[in-house]
Each structure stands twice: as structure tokens, then as C-alpha cells.
Amino acid sequence: MPRKSTPSKPSPVVPSQDCGIADLSPAALGLMADFFKVLSEVSRLQIVCALKAGSKNVTEIIEATGLGQANVSKHLKMLSQAGVVSRRQEGVCVYYQIANPFLFELCDLVCNALAIQIEQRSQHFEQLAGMQLKG
């Protein structure tokens, strides 16, 4: 008779010493740093967000972000060189799309971590305010 599996609680994520990043060479870490530098500019993140729903041409990206044409073109070139976006030609139009959807998972992780950090700071400030009222 097969055993019924019971749903288990997800185990907490514990940092591991076996993390692949610990074994990277300084050159490989430099490549990783360069990747994060590409994502460290607000306009490029706006473009990435605009492409989350699917591929767009430059005109559509301009409309979605409110950025100027020269600015969008400059940032698309950087995003393309970094492998964040890819491009395809359809007639006279060039369409850009996210090259690897893992990018949105990465952004979600960062957003969740920031939300937790903000909540913790908010609780800390509430505790401090409570202490001032008592004193």
C-alpha cells in the first residue's frame, strides 16, 4: 500500500557555507558586480519593468516610462550589452524583451527583503516613540 504523503512546512532558508558565490574568483565576482551595476540605475529599472508584460519597441517603451528617446536608446544598449534584454527585428521595428525571466524573481526577492526591512524599522520607531511617551 502506498504511503500518503503529508504536506510539510517549508523549511526556513538558512544561509549556506556551500554557496557558489564563495568559490568565485575575483574576476567572476567583478562580472557579477557589473551585472548589478547595470541594474542600479532607475531609468534602466523602469525599462525592465516596462518589459515585464512582454516585448516592446522603443516607442512603446518611451510611452510606458516617460523617458526620452535618446535616454531609452542609451539604456537599451547597456541592457542589451549586459545580456539583460534581447532584441529582434520585425520589418523596420526592433522589439526588446527580457532575455532571462529570472530577473523578475531577483527583483521580487529584493522587493520582499526591502519590505521586511521597512517593517522592522517601522516597529523599531514605534518602540522608540512608546519609550518617549512613558518617559
Domain ranges of the chain: 27-99, 101-135
For the segment 20-44, the average pLDDT, to the nearest whole number, is 91
Domain 27-99: which CATH class?
Answer: mainly alpha
Instruction: Read off the amino acid at residue 1.
Output: M
Query: With 90 as the cut, is the pLDDT of residue 6 above it?
Result: no
Cβ–Cβ under 8 Å, residues 121 and 129: no
Q: Which three cell numbers stand for residue 91?
A: 520589418
Q: How far apart are CA 102 and CA 59, in angstroms?
A: 25
Cβ–Cβ under 8 Å, residues 85 and 79: yes
What pLDDT score does 44 carry?
A: 97
Query: With 60 as the cut, is the pLDDT of residue 121 above it?
Result: yes
Q: Which residue has the higher pLDDT, 31 or 10?
A: 31
What pLDDT score does 92 carry?
A: 92
Cβ–Cβ under 8 Å, residues 47 and 77: no
For the beta sheet containing 93-98, the strands, ordered from the edge strand earlier in sequence to the opposite edge, are 56-57, 93-98, 85-90
What pLDDT score does 56 carry?
A: 98
HSE of 93, CA atoms in CB hemisphere, 13 A: 10
What pLDDT score does 17 carry?
A: 53
SS3 of 96, please? strand
Residue with cell 516613540: 129
Element (H, E) at 81: helix 69-81
pLDDT digits (tens, 9 = 90+) for 61-106: 999 999 999 999 999 999 999 999 999 999 999 999 999 889 989 8
Q: Which residues pair with 89 in a beta bridge?
A: 94
- Mean pLDDT across the chain: 85
